[in-house]
Amino acid sequence: MLSYVQDMDEKDEAGGVILGRVIKESNNVVIDVNTEPMEGDIRSRTRFKRGKKRHQKIINEIWKKSEGTCNYLGEWHTHPEKNPSPSSVDIKSWTRILKKDVFSTKYLYFIIVGTESIGVWEGNRENLKIKKLNNVKR
């Protein structure tokens, strides 16, 4: 994710999906893999829209190879701002994902990589609430 930081004006937003594991009987989440931008994604300086087919193919392959232990945990993308915050488009997209996408956990995680920090939000599929967890300095 850090290789896509928008630290120059000519860098477009980038993103992908987050895959990993929720450790039973704990609050720990382990990210094993994140996809990178691919053909079919829409990218501009202030917009990233993930193409579905290629990212889904990787999700399916990793899930199968891990015998179902590595699952879809959420989405990540970059913003051209120091300390990122979700736009109204981000919130709407995340809420749609929580409502409609198929995933095996109660929560999904949404990461925005800014130029100086990384923001992390947790979305609850039961009540569709999205709360900020942390901002981590890069």
- Could you give the domains of the chain? 2-137 (3.40.140.10)
Size of the chain in residues:
138
67 is catalytic: no
pTM of this structure: 0.94
CA 50 to chain centre: 10
Res 48 pLDDT > 80? yes
- 107/85 Cα distance (integer angstroms): 19
| Per annotation, catalytic residue among 10, 13, 36, 122 | 13
Residue, of 134 and 90, whose pLDDT is higher: 90
Q: What percent of the chain has pLDDT over 90?
A: 86
The pLDDT tens digits for 15-40 are 999 999 988 888 789 999 999 999 99
- Dihedral angle, C-alpha 80, 82, 83, 89, nearest 10 °: -10
